[in-house]
Amino acid sequence: MSLDLNVAKATFNQQAMNHENFTREDFLRAQDRQKVQQSRASKNWPRLIWLLAGPGILVMLGENDGPSMVSYATTGASYGIGFFVPFILLTFLMAFVVQEMTVRLGAATHRGHAELIFQRFGPFWGYFAMADLVFGNLLTLVTEFIAIQAGGLYFSIPNWISVLGGVLIVISSLALRRYATWERVVLTLAAGNLLFIPAALLAHPNPAAIAHAMATWGPLPGGMGTAFITLILANIGATVTPWMIFFQQSAVVDKGLTRADLPQGRIDTALGASLAAIAAIATLTAAAPLFAAHTDISQFASGADFATALKPLIGSTGASLFALGIIEAGLVAAMTISTSSSYALAEALSARHSFNLDFASGWLFYSAAIVSTLFAAVVVLIPGAPLLAMTLTVNVIATLLMAPALLLLLLLVNDRAIMAGLHNGWLANLAGGAIVIFICLAGTLYGVITVFPNLVGT
């Protein structure tokens, strides 16, 4: 037995030296795993978490994208500090529940989400899921460049320069040719999401009002009208969307996470949800002075109008931080959302898909991100487009598309044949089922008020 083992090791080493059946992708991922194993063996837990963190933080801060931050700002300007503060926390708890299932699915199967759907449910549901994802992602990518453009407008940067700069940054990130490097670069950019925190502090919020809102889920000025229900859906769509499932599962696989890494994967996802929730509430809080000042936001055309309107209320520094945060939100989301489309398309077509690939080996993976990015940028530059309305509508659409994506996820994480001991327990199924029902009810209510607008107030 020992002799056979030594022979196997020698054969593997020889193949690695000769690069036979051992690709650059395999080599880079093996290097990353070696660092993880060394940290685990030495019980260096902080370094272990540092090495394994990434997909969860990225997916949560990436979802704090341009339309999401505008949705939170619209909420703060429309309703102030009240009902929506604890509601935002609830939506990020929902996001953690969904993404934790995604982490387990990736660690158990070492397959991307699109690949698993095709394998387990066949072409019909595979293409259905792909259509759901691609439609939502293209619309959302457009709004990310709307956000980049809007933030630039506050600093008097011409539209085409802001959009071109965003395109160049997104495409340049694809040239890193290393998943670990790409992840750390985007994580560094994602830290800019926290710019909304000092902007919120410059708004001088009342801690007692925030504490009262957390304890009582109120007040709710104006009651539950059409605008309120639309913002409910927009805030859900700002937190739980189909692209997050596809991105994080594929990122977990690309990073090489295993069953042993699940505790750190959960910490990564919880940390991401916490940071994103803080930034989201900070955005609402920063915009709340517009509510106190009775500012009419119905004529706002983009996120730049929020920053401009906030300048006399929270100062030029606060308004500038708000505008920079909008630009960062659009950039990071454009990187992660275009990547989720790349992973899914390559998986569906059984093509290679990893940031550890060179361009020749992963041309389809990289091309999908480049083409979708260019498409979104061109759409944004169309004169006269209703930018703010489009931004809010995208989050509502994301909510309506989420129910089928969640149902497929629940079916997969309950498939004992592929989960091999990591399948959902009753509590996870209860939480997941409740989220599906809640999203369906919210979508149904939105459909009813759209068809019968006189049933509720404005």
Q: Residue 58's pLDDT is what?
A: 92
Residue 29 within any structural domain of the chain: no
What are the two backbone dihedrals, phi and then psi, of residue 122, each rounded to the nearest 5 degrees? Answer: 90, 175
Across residues 285-298, what is the average pLDDT?
89
> Is pLDDT of 386 > 80?
no
**Residue predicted with more confidence, 217 or 171:** 171
Residue 326 within any structural domain of the chain: yes
Q: Which amino acid is at 214?
A: M
Q: What is the pLDDT of residues 16-42, one digit of tens each?
A: 444 455 676 777 777 777 888 888 888
Spatial CB neighbours of 154, under 8 Å, sequence gap ≥ 6: 304, 307, 308, 319, 320, 323
Residue 150 within any structural domain of the chain: yes
Residue 23 within any structural domain of the chain: no
Please state, in angstroms and as integers, the Cα–Cα distance from residue 426 to each residue in 108, 248, 416, 433, following that order.
19, 23, 14, 10
Q: What is the pLDDT of residues 225-254, one digit of tens each?
A: 677 888 888 888 778 888 899 999 999 998
Q: What is the pLDDT of residues 129-157, one digit of tens each?
A: 888 888 888 888 988 998 898 889 899 89
The CATH number of residue 240's host domain is: 1.20.1740.10
Structure tokens that stand for 41 in this block: 């063996």
Residue 35 within any structural domain of the chain: no
CA dist 144 and 69 (Å) reads 11
Structure tokens that stand for 161 in this block: 């320069």
> Is pLDDT of 408 > 70?
yes
Lowest mean pLDDT segment, chosen from 197-206, 399-408, 413-422 = 399-408
Spatial CB neighbours of 372, under 8 Å, sequence gap ≥ 6: 137, 138, 141, 338, 341
The answer to whether 196 touches 279, Cβ cutoff 8 Å, is yes
Q: Residue 196's pLDDT is what?
A: 95
Q: Residue 321's pLDDT is what?
A: 95
Helix then strand count (H, E) for the chain reads 20, 0
CA dist 178 and 326 (Å) reads 27
**Residue predicted with more confidence, 353 or 395:** 353
Q: What is the pLDDT of residues 252-275, one digit of tens each?
A: 998 888 898 999 999 999 999 999
Q: Which domain holds residue 80?
A: 53-455
Spatial CB neighbours of 96, under 8 Å, sequence gap ≥ 6: 269, 270, 273
The upper half-sphere exposure of residue 392, i.e. CA atoms within 13 Å in the direction of its Cβ, equals 21
Q: Work out how many domains the chain is built from and give that number.
A: 1
Residue 9 within any structural domain of the chain: no
Q: Residue 200's pLDDT is what?
A: 95
What are the two backbone dihedrals, phi and then psi, of residue 32, each rounded to the nearest 5 degrees? Answer: -65, -40
Residue 213 within any structural domain of the chain: yes
> Is pLDDT of 74 > 50?
yes
The answer to whether 52 touches 252, Cβ cutoff 8 Å, is no
Alpha helices in 238-302 (DSSP H): 242-255, 262-292
**Residue predicted with more confidence, 169 or 4:** 169
The answer to whether 422 touches 107, Cβ cutoff 8 Å, is yes
Residue 318 within any structural domain of the chain: yes
